[in-house]
Amino acid sequence: MQRHHNLDFLRAFAMMMGLVIHAPLLFWAPDFAKVYGIENIAPAEEWVNILGRFISSWRMPLFFSLSGFFAILVIERKGISQFLKDRIIRVGLTCLIFSSLYDISDGSFDFTTLHLWFLFELMIIVLVFSLLYRLKMIKKLISMKLTPKIYFFLTLWLIASVPLAFILNNWWHPLALKASTSYFDLKIGNMLYYFSYFLVGVILYSNQNIFIKLKNIKTIFLLGNLSLFAFLLRIYSDHLTIGQADSLRNIAQIQFDPILVFFNACMIGINSILLCLLFIGLASKIIQSDSLIIRWFVELSYPIYIIHIIPVTMMSAVFHHAGLNQLSILPLAVITGFIICVILYYVFIKFTPLNWLINGYSKSHLKVKFISS
């Protein structure tokens, strides 16, 4: 089977960006800071908020697109039943076990998903897609060759899916795409939004010639400029809406002008598309072969994402107690949190049955004779 090293790396990179997103969590969520004995913590500085919006603009849309791409790749290689079995174990069961451990660790059991919310939503998307895939009409649809007209309508749909998600979430608000917090907090709008990107990834599998176009240096330059312009517009639209709040902590209670919210939603949609295309183009241009470093990075990405939340936020708290400013805390928390996670991976996951769950039995270094036979 052909390996897509560029997309493997890109999916891993999107995962690892979770460490950067969650390093400033203490400043966004004061209740989280109190867990580490920090009272009245200062709000996140504006550069931190902008960095968070930038990463959030492309990270999850890109991840779900790549999940769709690799889903059809596995289905064509191993069949729908094996694909479903693999995802139930590596996504569904992993999410259930680790979210339960996090849930119990805080002294309660309220079915919170914490940072693993996207695994819960991905599992539902996988189940829905597996049912739809059995329909001939769907198989024909996802294997179609893209024309300029279809590209246009797909783009239009991805942009429209954001305000539509706001409506389905019953919250016409810039934060309407906020992640689910528990198994009982499933947001239909979010599901539609991410399922749309998942299907686009599935369709891209039959149109891999687009990767050749995207890695063209002129295309990358154009996408880079368009992405920058679109992100500046996104920042401006954020200023018109969430900029009205004293801080992100009390933004949920504010009522915004519906037209401004619609403009903000469209900017989110345009940003997501352009940045996803830009990162795919960059990865396709830069990573054209395998290497030990890439394989190591890809291997680490999923388990580290699963276990990173406590090490990264804990190190943020340690550096905050040490009196460092946010500009120092964030990179130090990401670096030290990553190192701690690597150690935890090698000690508690890589050579244990947990690796069967996370990376699959075939990729595990621990083999049991009766299972192998």
Mean pLDDT of the chain: 91
The yes-or-no verdict on residue 373 having pLDDT over 60 is: no
Measured from the Cβ of residue 328, the count of other Cβ atoms closer than 10 Å reads: 13
Cβ-contact 294, 257 below 8 angstroms = no
**347 lies in a domain?**
no
Measured from the Cβ of residue 48, the count of other Cβ atoms closer than 10 Å reads: 19
**200 lies in a domain?**
yes
Higher model confidence: residue 80 or residue 140? 80
Q: What is the pLDDT of residues 206-258, one digit of tens each?
A: 999 999 999 999 999 999 999 999 999 999 988 888 766 655 566 777 778 89
Q: What is the pLDDT of residues 340-371, one digit of tens each?
A: 999 999 999 999 989 988 987 776 766 665 44
Q: What is the pLDDT of residues 95-113, one digit of tens each?
A: 999 999 988 887 777 788 9
Give residue 165's domain range: 5-309
Q: What is the pLDDT of residues 168-202, one digit of tens each?
A: 999 898 888 988 888 888 899 999 999 999 999 99
Angle at 196 between CA 164 and CA 66, to 5 degrees: 145
**321 lies in a domain?**
no
CB within 8 A of 119, min separation 6: which ones? 91, 92, 94, 95, 113
pTM for the whole thing?
Answer: 0.93
**292 lies in a domain?**
yes
The pLDDT of residue 2 is: 63
The pLDDT of residue 141 is: 81
The pLDDT of residue 328 is: 98
Q: What is the pLDDT of residues 113-151, one digit of tens each?
A: 989 999 999 999 999 999 999 888 888 888 889 999 999
**362 lies in a domain?**
no
**333 lies in a domain?**
no
The yes-or-no verdict on residue 271 having pLDDT over 60 is: yes
Calculate mean pLDDT across residues 52-78: 95
The yes-or-no verdict on residue 43 having pLDDT over 50 is: yes
Q: What is the largest CA-CA distance in the chain?
A: 64
Cβ-contact 33, 166 below 8 angstroms = no
The pLDDT of residue 199 is: 95
**209 lies in a domain?**
yes
- Compute the distance between CA of residue 7 and CA of residue 362 in angstroms, rounded to an integer: 21
The pLDDT of residue 340 is: 98
**55 lies in a domain?**
yes
Cβ-contact 94, 119 below 8 angstroms = yes
Count of domains observed in the chain: 1
C-alpha dist (Å) from residue 327 to 248, 319, 324, 332, 340: 18, 11, 8, 9, 21
